Structure 1
Amino acid sequence: MKYPIGIQDFRKLREGGYVYVDKTMNLYRILEGGSYFFLSRPRRFGKSLLLSIINELYRGSKELFQGLWIENHWDWEGEYRPVIWLRFASFNYKDNELKAAIWEGVEEAAESLGIELDNRELTHPLQQLIQKAYHHFGQKVVLLIDEYDKPIIDYLDEPEKAEANRDTLKWFYSVLKDSDPYLELVFVTGVSAFSKVSIFSDLNNLYNLSLVAPARTLLGITQEELEHYFAQPLKTVDKEEVRRWYNGYSWGGTERVYNPFSILSFFRGGGEYRNFWFETGTPTFLVKEMKKRSYFNLRDTLATQHDLNSFDLRNLQPIPILFQTGYLTIKHYEPADLVYTLDYPNQEVRHSLQEVLLKEYLDYPSENPVPKVLRLREAMRSGHLEEAFQIINSAFSEIPYDHWKGQTEHFYHAVVALIFSLLGTYIRSEVHSSRGRCDALVETADRVYALEFKLDKSAGEALQQIQDKGYLEPYADSPRQKIAVGINFSSAERRIVEWEAVELYF
């Protein structure tokens, strides 16, 4: 089986004999319902491949669709449309002014259609290309725009540059509304939510597919598709573990899909669990912003649709950016309240983001924190609590003294929470922040620990809270040891200075 990792050309995919999960029925039903579409999805989700499929459909490349659903439903006898396909990832805006890079990109698109554009000083590039293509071919034009917002996304940490690029893009797209008589279809893809970037403010007929039912599984691979198209490689792996690691993306709270890049990389790598998607683009800017705003526990985050579409370049909010870029996804939608519950999509993203966030909180220590977490796992498994707390203290000891100035109890809890959340990758460890839940529950084969942390108080007080609140009572029927652990952290000494543990019996 050949896995099309990184292949964005539908012709190359089909002629090369690569596996293709047939999404043509989804696409056909969307295209039937309108002419102007926008779809936002995180990187590495197949947006470029989707536009390549649309390109081949309108060019009449029937041979590429043999055996697919759309082969017997598309009008192959109709007149085919000229296709303008603009890919901002290929525009050279990092070495040139964006407007100059746009002109170069549009001129290349014109050349591919056999069209020559007029002097740059006299006309608008996109308007000129659309109209010339229309008159040259005598047919309405299909306009595909891939990664429309890349010149903004690439400069989120430089607000002035991002705003300047946004203004240029608004100028570029401003001609679409008046170009309607020449256009058969407009399909725009990107990462960010367009409604708050103010680029398409004049194009009120652009239908946002991002959260609507017809497009929720248009990109990504559903569990049913995975088991159908990848039945053979699935025989050699634990399906539930694969699901835990790579499934979970949702744009409605019900249907869930795998990131294609991750799951295909997993199969090609012989079933080795790794952080494939995350490694291709660590969100350094977002991680710094999360620490600055004291974010560390992103599970069960509530957001409105307005929040999810928020995109203020002068006041970037981490939650909508994390959602739009794929580090959070929709876990549940409550229509009565118009509220979404967000969470990490899967183990791959949760572990990776928490690892880099812990490094940021610890100011990038000399040793990666993961080996410490693994040693912590072994200490908890063997019941060596003294060793476990030495490991936690060693993590705190690497934080430079100057970085402790002005830190609050929240900072301490963030580091502890991230350590135990990462521990949950290797053994069951849950960190809770809601009232009435202990700070951490750790389950091993022989023991269940309830841990409660206090700052500048006493271990006895923490221990008493575990007993009073009955944190271990749900495990009364378990044959494992039930151990309550109270821990006190000193802000002056910047370490755990006292702990008490007692085995509870029910």
Structure 2
Amino acid sequence: MEKKAAPVGIENFKELIQDGYYYIDKTLLIDEILITKAKVTLFTRPRRFGKTLNMSMIKYFFDVKNKEENRKLFENLKISSSKYMSEQGKYPVIFISLKDLKGNTWEKCFENLKKTMYKIFNEYEFVREKLNIVEKREFDKIWEMTDSEESFKTSLLDLSNYLCKYYGEKVIILIDEYDAAIINAFDKGYYNEAINFFQVFYSSALKTNDSLKYGILTGITRIIKEGIFSGLNNLYVNTILSKNYSEYFGLLESEVIEMLDYFNMKYRIEEVREWYDGYIFGNKKIYNPWSIVNYAGEKEIKAYWANVSGNTLLENMLYHAGESVYDDLKRFTEGESIEKYISDGTTIKSLLNSDDEIWQLLLYSGYLTKDEKQREIDVTSEYTNIYNLKIPNKEIRKYFGNMFLDRFFGTEIKTDILTKR
């Protein structure tokens, strides 16, 4: 039998299965979603921890388009023996990724969003045959990218209504990296314009939408104070601190050992553990999937994830941070575990105004993790959100040593710390 390749950079579930890449089966995520039955779910995880591939998997599972062809993708996978296989191919699905929705100005960002919506509307051109004259006119203005910004704010809502009318079934809306455009807008100085747009874009589709079956979002942070999700009483937020779903983003050790064994590299598990393990999601020990997949492909131990994970906002925050932050970064790099308060949500505006917020962003972005050893805290205490944090592994320690300490402490301290690794 031909050896399967490591799926480096493959985020399309159909491509991964049909082209015979090695796949670590995460399909029971669908089971969990259907058991929970949350109307809208937000998963926050670090970049390149499997969010996009899982969203693609969910799309191909539920999508009524090409349902028979898509069903074959799930043959011999764990979900195929679940009672929830009966939900396969039942619903129209809108899948929108905002991870690359960037621009140096709001005008450029909005132009890119119009192109994104054009591609999605173009995919569903066939629904026009069941629309009335007015609906068809509104569809065409978005499709042709000639409508106003106000109309684009509700374009996701409108498309779900059109699809519901066409199929006679409610719609599943998948939004990947929902916060990427907002974080970029903050970094580039057009935050207010972006928030004004996305508040309506998201809330109209997820809050006041009678055509919605389920909504699922992914991102890095839970941005709640901007009002994006205000009034969305049916939102279930699942973070790296949550116990549910913890095994579906990132890799369990058993999955890593099985993969290394497949690629005849099981003998290197100790080195792999030292470099890429160390994350605690909920109550599960998790390996960095991006690093593991790249390592299986290149067969060389080195930093794969830290250099591609995107850290402009972190650099910005560190630039404005006080001396105590730098002192703690040095302690983290030396292997210490430090107690920090982690709030339930954040506002992007507060990130540069509070040194406390940096630890939340470092945690949710994957540069820090919970320590297994947590202090016993009274659940009635106001300090229940205090966690012992630490650097998860050698890859991240090397990243901090090479980048942050070099920039903020100078070569002498960096050299001193790196020699202690």
Task: Please tell me the residue identity of whatever aligns with 2:73.
Answer: L
Aligned with residue 26 of structure 1, among 18, 26, 29: 29
Take 2:50 and 2:27, find their aligned partners in 1: how far apart are those partners?
13
Return the index of the structure with the highest Cα Rg: 1
Superposed counterparts of 1:447-466, under 5 Å: none
Take 2:169 and 2:298, find their aligned partners in 1: how far apart are those partners?
46
The corresponding residue for 1:443 is none
User: What secondary structure does 1:111 align onto?
Assistant: helix
- Normalization by structure 2: what TM-score? 0.80
CA contact under 8 A between 1:311 and 1:320: conserved in structure 2?
A: no
Do the aligned partners of residues 49 and 188 (structure 1) sit closer, same or farther apart at CA in structure 2, a change above 3 Å counting? Answer: same
Note the C-alpha offset of 1:30: 2.6
* Superimposed CA distance per residue, residues 139-180 of structure 1 (whole angstroms, 9 cap, x where no aligned partner): 11010001111112224434x423432232112112135544
Superposed counterparts of 1:90-101, under 5 Å: 90-91=100-101, 93-94=103-104, 96-101=107-112
CA contact under 8 A between 2:48 and 2:309: conserved in structure 1?
A: no
CA contact under 8 A between 2:7 and 2:21: conserved in structure 1?
A: yes
Task: Please tell me the residue identity of whatever aligns with 2:25.
Answer: D
CA contact under 8 A between 1:287 and 1:360: conserved in structure 2?
A: no
User: What secondary structure does 2:305 align onto?
Assistant: helix
Note the C-alpha offset of 1:285: 4.7
* Superimposed CA distance per residue, residues 452-499 of structure 1 (whole angstroms, 9 cap, x where no aligned partner): xxxxxxxxxxxxxxxxxxxxxxxxxxxxxxxxxxxxxxxxxxxxxxxx
The corresponding residue for 1:301 is 338
Take 1:64 and 1:319, find their aligned partners in 2: how far apart are those partners?
40
Matched, 1:310 2:352: no
Task: Please tell me the residue identity of whatever aligns with 1:359.
Answer: D
The corresponding residue for 2:16 is 13
Q: Which has the higher helix share?
A: 2
Task: Please tell me the residue identity of whatever aligns with 1:165.
Answer: A
CA contact under 8 A between 2:302 and 2:395: conserved in structure 1?
A: yes
Matched, 1:227 2:257: yes
The corresponding residue for 1:422 is 418
Task: Please tell me the residue identity of whatever aligns with 1:87.
Answer: S
Do the aligned partners of residues 94 and 55 (structure 1) sit closer, same or farther apart at CA in structure 2, a change above 3 Å counting? Answer: farther
CA contact under 8 A between 1:44 and 1:261: conserved in structure 2?
A: yes
CA contact under 8 A between 2:223 and 2:346: conserved in structure 1?
A: no
Take 1:47 and 1:68, find their aligned partners in 2: how far apart are those partners?
19
Note the C-alpha offset of 1:12: 0.3
Matched, 1:359 2:363: no
Superposed counterparts of 1:392-431, under 5 Å: 395=412, 415=413, 418-425=414-421
Aligned with residue 95 of structure 2, among 57, 80, 85: 85
The corresponding residue for 2:71 is 62
Do the aligned partners of residues 212 and 315 (structure 1) sit closer, same or farther apart at CA in structure 2, a change above 3 Å counting? Answer: closer
Take 1:167 and 1:347, find their aligned partners in 2: how far apart are those partners?
41
Aligned with residue 47 of structure 2, among 37, 43, 53: 43
Q: Which has the higher strand share?
A: 1
Task: Please tell me the residue identity of whatever aligns with 2:45.
Answer: R
The corresponding residue for 1:275 is 303
Of structures 1 and 2, the one scoring higher in RCO (CA 8 A, sep 6+) is 2
Task: Please tell me the residue identity of whatever aligns with 1:82.
Answer: P
CA contact under 8 A between 2:62 and 2:88: conserved in structure 1?
A: no
User: What secondary structure does 1:39 align onto?
Assistant: strand
The corresponding residue for 2:194 is 165
Take 1:178 and 1:207, find their aligned partners in 2: how far apart are those partners?
13
* Mean Cα deviation higher: 228-237 or 50-59: 228-237
CA contact under 8 A between 1:163 and 1:313: conserved in structure 2?
A: no
* Superimposed CA distance per residue, residues 69-116 of structure 1 (whole angstroms, 9 cap, x where no aligned partner): 101213347662111111113446457444443333223212212245
Matched, 1:341 2:403: no
The corresponding residue for 1:255 is 284
CA RMSD of aligned residues (A): 2.4
Aligned with residue 122 of structure 2, among 104, 111, 118: 111
Note the C-alpha offset of 1:234: 5.7
Matched, 1:326 2:371: no
Matched, 1:290 2:310: no
- For structure 1, which runs of at least 5 residues remain unmatched after alignment? 364-368, 370-394, 396-414, 426-506
* Superimposed CA distance per residue, residues 200-251 of structure 1 (whole angstroms, 9 cap, x where no aligned partner): 1121211001132221111111101112233243645431221010011222
User: What secondary structure does 2:190 align onto?
Assistant: helix
Do the aligned partners of residues 321 and 244 (structure 1) sit closer, same or farther apart at CA in structure 2, a change above 3 Å counting? Answer: same
Take 1:205 and 1:83, find their aligned partners in 2: how far apart are those partners?
19
* Mean Cα deviation higher: 149-158 or 214-223: 149-158
Task: Please tell me the residue identity of whatever aligns with 1:65.
Answer: F
CA contact under 8 A between 1:106 and 1:129: conserved in structure 2?
A: no
Aligned with residue 239 of structure 1, among 245, 269, 273: 269
Do the aligned partners of residues 78 and 423 (structure 1) sit closer, same or farther apart at CA in structure 2, a change above 3 Å counting? Answer: closer
Take 1:325 and 1:134, find their aligned partners in 2: how far apart are those partners?
36
Take 1:300 and 1:163, find their aligned partners in 2: how far apart are those partners?
37
Note the C-alpha offset of 1:342: 1.2
Task: Please tell me the residue identity of whatever aligns with 1:63.
Answer: K
- For structure 2, which runs of at least 5 residues remain unmatched after alignment? 129-138, 142-146, 379-383
Task: Please tell me the residue identity of whatever aligns with 2:365.
Answer: T
